[in-house]
Structure 1
Amino acid sequence: MEQVEMRAAVRETYGPADLSSVPVFAGGFINFGSWRSIDLAGPLTVDDRIRSQQDLYRRVLDAAGPLTGRRIAEVGCGLGVGCALALREYGPERVTGMDIHPEQLERARRTNAELLAASPQGLRFVQGAAEDMPLGDGEFDCVYSVEAAQHFDDMAAFTREAARVLRPGGRLVVASFFTPGTDPENGARLASALETFADGLDIARPVTLVTDALTRAGLTDARAVSIGPDVWPGWDRWLSDQWAPGTWPRNFLTAYERRDLDYYLVTATRPGA
């Protein structure tokens, strides 16, 4: 397999900087959350925040279809707390968490040490890149990724690899943020408003590029559904207790309102039985 190099921003953010330790990502899930079941009118608690992140995972896993007894893999698993949720709540035979960053995998193994000991056949963590997965052909019934695809260097390579490791009839589900249109100035506007796009951590790409890549990879029924209304207002409301209006983290909601950015649930299926 080729060695896929991490960009400097990815290496720092998920290594020494340890984004999972930042209070806005309470619980270690490192996602913006799905807030549709949370009352945004009143004060938000840390429990609300953790639930929003868990609910985003549930939304992804629900979109994958029944997972009982299935083999599933998460691409960009981070601390592996989403893998643990999948194992506890969805009854798969095995969950494989894959991440490109060795420090994240060390944290994942520490965080889930008890679960790994109790279920050595049910949970494992492996190092690998989305574009070059160290996984077997047709090994999985479901491949999913939660808020990691905005970091992937090569979306076409990721979709080819996902198609390869899925069994016939297997399902791919990706939740992440992409641009809703193909305006060539979109990336520049996002970089001017959001540090994560300016420093190269996040990549601005049209959501149609993702669905087109899935189709070219041989997957069928590629669809992208906006879940922005359930993500951006809640994320901004959570940030409002810690970040003042006009600071760059609050610009995610602004970018959404300007139609420069949105959050999507992307699904596709490998054809066959």
Structure 2
Amino acid sequence: MSIHFHDERLKGSYNSRDADADWVKTMQELTAGEDIKHAADIGCGGGIYTNELLKLGADRAVGIDFSEVSLRDAKERHQHERRLSFQQGTAERTGLARCGQDLVLARALIHHLSDTAAFLKEAARVLCAKGRLIIQDRTVSDCLLPGSHVHIRGWLLDYFPHLAEVEKKRRPNKMDVLEQMKAAGFTGVTVFSIWEKRKQFATRQQLLDDLRQRTGRSILHELTDSELEAFLDFLQTKLSEGAVTEANRWTIWTGQAT
């Protein structure tokens, strides 16, 4: 069955790792020279990336999510960082003030939305003039890259072809998002790809245990327990017993509000 983000069993699933240092560096380069005082992370989950917005120069950052479970995780993990706050809202109705943000991040969000245009309208509303929007998500091409010792997701889709069909239906089209951003009034819109390290595991077993818990991977909720165990058995034939670094390719869209 598909993921249900309000399920109490998801506690800890989206706040149990740190952001990749290379991802932070890419975001710093992207926003270099911009005056970022207030930033918002829409679809913040457990707040992993909300916290990283402070490294881009933000004095304060707010995380928005519709899941109470995720928000409790975020508040618990970041309870000692006074520059962070978290509140309930949706991508289309964030509850944020008009023209109050210098930066809006939407990471791994839009593939869950039925109306990306409505989110872009809301992002344009809450951003200050010249404020920056950064969208990060996987396109179909990103997801369908061949499996490897780094790109574990590719092996998953090879093993379960029906999951490739799930991804094809829910993943955004690179040029469609680009045109939607322009239609919403964003200027200087560009798109590029990055590889982001998800997590380094000291052993193969640590990765297998993480996958077994479906930690932070919504696609795994499409599998039954027995299907997931079959995939884990398959992975043991592919991976050595040593350290594993899991990474994924992502597409980044960015532009500035008018």
Taking structure 2 as the reference length, the TM-score comes to 0.66
Q: State the Cα deviation string for residues 192-244 of structure 1 (Å, max 9, x = none).
A: 6364963x8x82221111111111101112211022xx24xx66996993459
Count of matched residue positions in the alignment of Structure 1 and Structure 2 = 208
Taking structure 1 as the reference length, the TM-score comes to 0.63
Structure 2 residue 111 is the aligned partner of structure 1 residue 158: no
The Cα shift of 1:77 comes to 1.0
The Cα shift of 1:101 comes to 0.7
Distance 2:99 2:48 in 1: 25
Amino acid at match of 1:9: S
Distance 1:76 1:69 in 2: 20
- Cα gap change, 1:96 to 1:204, in 2 (>3 Å): same
Q: How does 1:35-74 map to 2 (within 5 A)?
A: 50=18, 52=20, 54-66=21-33, 70-74=37-41
Distance 2:119 2:108 in 1: 14
Q: Which has the higher contact order (CA 8 A, sep 6+)?
A: 2
* Maintained 8 Å contact 1:57/1:146: no
Distance 2:175 2:202 in 1: 29
User: Secondary structure, in 3 states, of the residue corresponding to 1:113?
Assistant: coil
Aligned to 2:60: 94
Distance 2:90 2:164 in 1: 20
Aligned to 1:270: 257
* Maintained 8 Å contact 1:63/1:173: no
Aligned to 2:221: none
Q: Unaligned regions of 5+ residues in structure 2, if any?
A: 143-156, 209-227, 236-247
* Maintained 8 Å contact 2:5/2:67: no
Aligned to 2:51: 84
Distance 2:183 2:201 in 1: 38
* Maintained 8 Å contact 1:177/1:264: yes
Equivalent of 2:188 in 221, 234, 252: 221
Distance 2:198 2:53 in 1: 23
When you count strand as a share of all residues, which structure comes out higher?
A: 2
Aligned to 2:78: 112
The Cα shift of 1:95 comes to 0.5
* Maintained 8 Å contact 1:146/1:174: yes
The Cα shift of 1:67 comes to 6.0
Amino acid at match of 1:265: I
The Cα shift of 1:20 comes to 4.2
